[in-house]
Amino acid sequence: MTSTDTGRQSTAGHHEAGTPAVGAIDFGDFRRTTPIAGQFGYERGQPIDRHYIEGFLQENAPVICGHVLEIGDNTYTTRFGGEHVRRSEVLHVTSDSPSATIVADLADAPEIPPDTFDCVICTQTLQLIYDVRAAVATLHRIVRPGGVVLATFPGISQVDDPAWAPSWYWHFTPASARRLFGDVFGNPHVQVESHGNVLTAMCFLHGLASHELRRGELDIADPRFPFLITVRAIKA
Ligand SMILES: C[S@@+](CC[C@H](N)C(=O)[O-])C[C@H]1O[C@@H](n2cnc3c(N)ncnc32)[C@H](O)[C@@H]1O
């Protein structure tokens, strides 16, 4: 195999292979038009996006307290809020979820009173809501002043989920996340971060799991490849 340069030091700390010449790429296991595994990586371990989602929630664990709303289930409320959670609520969009304490459409949820929650955990949900600006307005309305919304959404993703694929409307960028939340919460109250890089994105598209990558590879946030986006927004 030939290379057009001699390789370079990656910010992951190890020496990366040089740039192969045109026609000399070694595609290896990736020379296929179907993914190595489906279902985001669950078949092989922890999905790569969950590595970043759970890291973000761990960092923000101190604000997961009091009256907490989570979408779909309360796994993260329990895991990261623990005994600091006074009351845990679960919102589901349809009435078929036994764990739901609130059935509502975030795009239009007048049944949820304003200024209710200390913290809303809204992971991997906004991509499924067509009127996403209305949903962010609802998040702002239902959190109490001083309360926090912790949101995550896909930047680069497969949509291999029969339940949600038909209503998977959006992929986001840090710019769209900043405007979506900044317009409602006010820019100074919104922190947006982009996670991942070309390798994590490629491996996630192939359904690989986080433990199949090196820690240093996962840690690199390359803004050219916003794979997973996190938002922390505080209601003033
Ligand atoms: C992929 S799950 C994500 C939530 C889950 N806790 C997680 O982190 O994986 C998608 C969730 O989006 C919710 N959802 C979809 N459309 C919605 C809408 N219009 N309003 C409120 N929730 C919605 C569903 O109830 C579902 O629980």
- Ligand 1 centroid distance, CA of 126 (Å): 8
- Ligand 1 centroid distance, CA of 4 (Å): 47
Which ligand 1 atom is at minimum distance from the Cα of 163?
1
User: Pocket of ligand 1, candidates 77, 93, 111, 126: which has the most ligand atoms within 8 Å of its Cβ, to mutate?
Assistant: 93
What b/e sequence results for 25-46 when a residue is b if at least 16 CB atoms lie within 10 Å of its CB, and e otherwise?
A: eeeeeeeeeebbbeebbeebee
Strands 15-16 and 8-9: what pairing?
A: antiparallel
Nearest CA to 80 among 139, 144, 152? 152
- Cβ-Cβ contacts under 8 Å for 70 (sequence gap 6 or more): 76, 77, 88, 89, 90, 91, 120, 121, 122, 123
The reply to whether ligand 1 has any atom less than 6 angstroms from the CB of 169 is no
- Ligand 1 centroid distance, CA of 94 (Å): 10
At residue 6, the pLDDT reads: 36
Reported pTM: 0.94
- Walking along the chain (236 residues) 10 residues at a time, the average pLDDT comes out as 38 67 95 95 97 98 98 98 98 94 98 98 98 98 98 96 94 98 98 98 98 98 98 98
- Ligand 1 centroid distance, CA of 133 (Å): 16
Which ligand 1 atom is at minimum distance from the Cα of 92?
25
